[in-house]
């Protein structure tokens, strides 16, 4: 199966990947085509990149490889409180080396766009271009953190199916769309139930900590992004306001010709799914303007340790911290910028949620599938309206 094992003295993870080749691995790549590396949207995994993998505008002209992070999809890890977006970028760089991937066009969504930016800054030789969909703020806003923390508690400590479905409905509302089609909501909630049920609360917490505790990129790092950049941003999304894209565009001072911002007429998240056709059209047009490259397997002249040491030296320069350059180059965790205080807090929080999780409520039946569709719940549950998300209509009916 297509995993990349990353092993170090202080770290272990197995990263899942898939491709558009017949055997779903990089061995089937056409060396005459350029390569695209994709990172999936937030709160889902790489299987939700199917609109891009199935689009002939991309699949017929490019080799496409999609990666899960170490905290999503079938990937496994030994948890560490040091994990942050820099480590996620280092994971991808390790995967490039082990899979002998050539420099590639990077496509990423939502919070993982910040990973793509870090990859381009720390390992510029790996990136031909960046396409970023719905870029967030560099640090999470206080109001969003409060909402996300409350939603996480509702999710992880749900005592019954109705409570858990309520938490799922809140996430669909905030992250996908307030008025998502019932069939799509059913599919998304079923994914949540099967991949992040309360009895696997620690997996959800590992993702939540990366989002909540992320640190901004330094101006030096942003200036080191020197490949072409396309930003696709929903015009009316409250979680990803359009001004985030404009601000990032201003910060990317050394992008050739300046970063390009394309507005998507949408107010939803998951624009790579909801607005896949227009995203793919803009993305393919952007790629067509880039120089054509080949995808011959790369047999590096330097060792993995030497490649990672170069990345650590760049990071040390960005952060004005020469001690970073003396960390173990074999470990992706060496790229972490998590402070000691945050590290201890993340370790304690993870252990707290992990404790007793095997006794938590399960929304799944004996066959491992959801007990019912999200659309089959009763409207009266928790006084929720027929759309599943609003209290107002139910209360007003009694007035």
Q: Is the pLDDT of residue 392 over 80?
A: no
Which of 288, 317, 338 corresponds to the end of one domain? 338
What CA–CA distance (Å, rounded) separates 175 from 155?
A: 15
Please determine, for residue 394, whether its predicted confidence score (pLDDT) is greater than 80.
no
Give one word for 140, left, alpha or beta, with left for phi > 0 and alpha for psi -120 to 50.
beta
CA distance 199 to 355: 10
Report CA 201 to chain centroid distance, whole Å: 18
Rounded Cα–Cα distance for residues 362 and 359 (Å): 9
In percent, the amount of the chain with pLDDT more than 90 equals 70
Q: Does 307 share its domain with 388?
A: no
Residue 258 to residue 261: CA distance in whole angstroms: 10
- Same domain as 80, residue 27: yes
Quote the mean pLDDT of the chain: 90
Give phi and psi for 126, each to the nearest 5.
Answer: -90, -15
Residues 181 and 319 in one domain: no
Confidence bin at 278 (pLDDT 50/70/90) = very high
Assigned domain for 161 exists: yes
Same domain? 369 vs 334: no
Higher confidence at residue 128 or residue 211?
128
Measured CA to CA, the distance from residue 287 to residue 187 in angstroms comes to 31
Collapsing DSSP to helix, strand or coil, 390 comes out as coil
CATH number of the domain at 41, please: 3.40.50.1820
Picking from 338, 369, 386, the residue at the C-terminal end of a domain is 338
Q: Is residue 44 part of a domain?
A: yes
Model pLDDT for residues 176-206, shown as the tens digit of each residue: 777 778 898 899 999 999 999 999 988 889 9
Q: Is 131 domain-assigned?
A: yes
At 290, list the tokens. Answer: 């880039």
45 and 131 both lie in a single domain: yes
Q: What mean pLDDT is predicted for residues 32-41?
A: 97
**263 & 128 share domain:** yes
Whether residue 35 is found in the same domain as residue 63: yes
Phi first, then psi: what are they for 104, rounded to 5°? Answer: -135, 160
- Among 40-54, 324-338, 363-377, 384-398, the minimum mean pLDDT is found in 384-398
- Region of poorest pLDDT, from 27-31, 150-154, 378-382: 378-382
Confidence of residue 397 (pLDDT cuts 50, 70, 90): very low
**Are 91 and 148 found together in one domain?**
no
- What is the per-residue pLDDT for 176? 76
Residue 393 has pLDDT above 70, yes or no: no
Alpha carbon 132 to chain centroid, angstroms: 11
Q: What's the pLDDT score for residue 180?
A: 77
Report yes or no on 345 lying in a domain: no
Same domain for 109 and 126?
yes
pLDDT of residue 384: 45
Last residue of some domain: 291, 312, 338? 338
Structural domain count of the chain: 2
Are residues 370 and 332 part of one domain?
no
Q: What is the pLDDT of residues 16-25, one digit of tens each?
A: 999 999 888 9
d(CA 19, CA 66): 6
Average pLDDT score over residue span 118-143: 94
10 Å Cβ neighbour count for 211? 18
Place of tokens 């496509």: 107
Q: Is residue 29 one of the residues assigned to a domain?
A: yes
Asked if residue 287 and residue 252 are part of one domain, the reply reads yes
- pLDDT above 60: residue 381: no
Q: What is the pLDDT of residue 117?
A: 98
81 pLDDT more than 90:
yes
- Mean pLDDT value across residues 237-259: 94
Residue 186 contacts residue 373 (beta carbons within 8 Å)? yes
The per-residue pLDDT for 378 is 67
Does 251 map to a domain? yes
- How many alpha carbons fall within 13 Å on the CB side of residue 127? 27
Neighbour count for residue 361 (Cβ, 10 Å): 16
Residue 323 neighbours by CB distance under 10 Å: 8
Range of the domain at 117: 3-138+216-338
DSSP-derived pairing of the beta strands 11-19 and 260-264:
unpaired
Residue 76 in tokens: 């496994």
Output the pLDDT for position 1: 52
Q: Using 50, 70 and 90 to split pLDDT, how confident is the model at 266?
A: confident
Q: What is the mean pLDDT of residues 129-141?
A: 93
Verify that 243 and 131 share a domain, yes or no: yes
Most confident segment among 68-82, 143-157, 260-274 = 68-82
- Do residues 154 and 166 make contact, with C-beta atoms less than 8 angstroms apart? yes
pLDDT at 333 over 70: yes
331 with 311: CB under 8 angstroms?
A: no
DSSP 302: S
236 inside domain: yes
Nearest Cα neighbor of 263 from 243, 236, 235 is 235
Q: Is the model's pLDDT at 102 over the cut of 50?
A: yes
- For residue 343, being part of any structural domain is answered with no
pLDDT for 93 beyond 80: yes
Lookup: tokens for 49: 């990149």
- Would you state the pLDDT for residue 308? 98
Residue 175 is given by DSSP the state I
In the predicted model, what is the mean pLDDT of residues 28-50?
Answer: 95
């Amino acid at each position: 199966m297509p995993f990349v094992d990353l092993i170090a003295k202080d770290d272990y993870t197995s990263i899942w990947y898939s491709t558009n080749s017949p055997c779903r691995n990089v061995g089937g790549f056409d060396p005459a085509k350029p390569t695209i590396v994709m990172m999936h949207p937030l709160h889902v995994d790489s299987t939700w990149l199917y609109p891009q993998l199935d689009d002939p505008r991309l699949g017929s002209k490019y080799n496409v490889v999609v990666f899960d992070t170490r905290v999503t999809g079938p990937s496994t890890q030994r948890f560490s409180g040091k994990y942050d977006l820099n480590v996620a970028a280092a994971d991808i760089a390790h995967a490039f080396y082990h899979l002998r991937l050539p420099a590639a066009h990077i496509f990423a969504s939502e919070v993982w766009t910040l990973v793509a930016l870090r990859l381009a800054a720390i390992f510029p030789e790996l990136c031909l271009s960046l396409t970023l969909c719905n870029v967030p703020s560099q640090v999470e806003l206080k109001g969003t953190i409060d909402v996300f923390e409350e939603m996480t508690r509702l999710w992880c400590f749900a005592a019954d199916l109705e409570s858990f479905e309520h938490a799922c409905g809140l996430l669909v509302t905030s992250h996908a769309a307030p008025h998502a089609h019932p069939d799509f909501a059913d599919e998304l909630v079923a994914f949540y139930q099967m991949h992040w049920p309360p009895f696997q609360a620690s997996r959800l917490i590992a993702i939540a900590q990366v989002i909540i505790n992320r640190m901004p990129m330094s101006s030096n790092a942003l200036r080191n992004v020197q490949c072409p950049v396309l930003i696709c941003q929903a015009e009316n999304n409250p979680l990803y306001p359009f001004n985030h894209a404009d601000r990032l565009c201003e910060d990317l001072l050394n992008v050739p010709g300046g970063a390009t911002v394309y507005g998507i007429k949408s107010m939803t998240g998951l624009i790579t799914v909801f607005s896949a056709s227009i995203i793919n059209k803009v993305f393919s047009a952007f790629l067509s303007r880039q120089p054509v490259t080949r995808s011959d397997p790369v047999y590096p002249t330097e060792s993995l340790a030497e490649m990672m040491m170069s990345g650590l030296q760049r990071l040390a320069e960005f952060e004005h911290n020469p001690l970073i350059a003396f960390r173990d180059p074999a470990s992706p965790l060496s790229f972490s910028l998590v402070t000691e205080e945050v590290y201890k807090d993340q370790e304690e929080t993870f252990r707290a949620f992990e404790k007793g999780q095997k006794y938590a409520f399960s929304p799944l039946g004996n066959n491992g599938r959801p007990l019912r569709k999200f659309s089959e719940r009763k409207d009266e549950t928790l006084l929720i309206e027929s759309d599943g998300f609003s209290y107002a209509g139910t209360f007003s009916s009694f007035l």
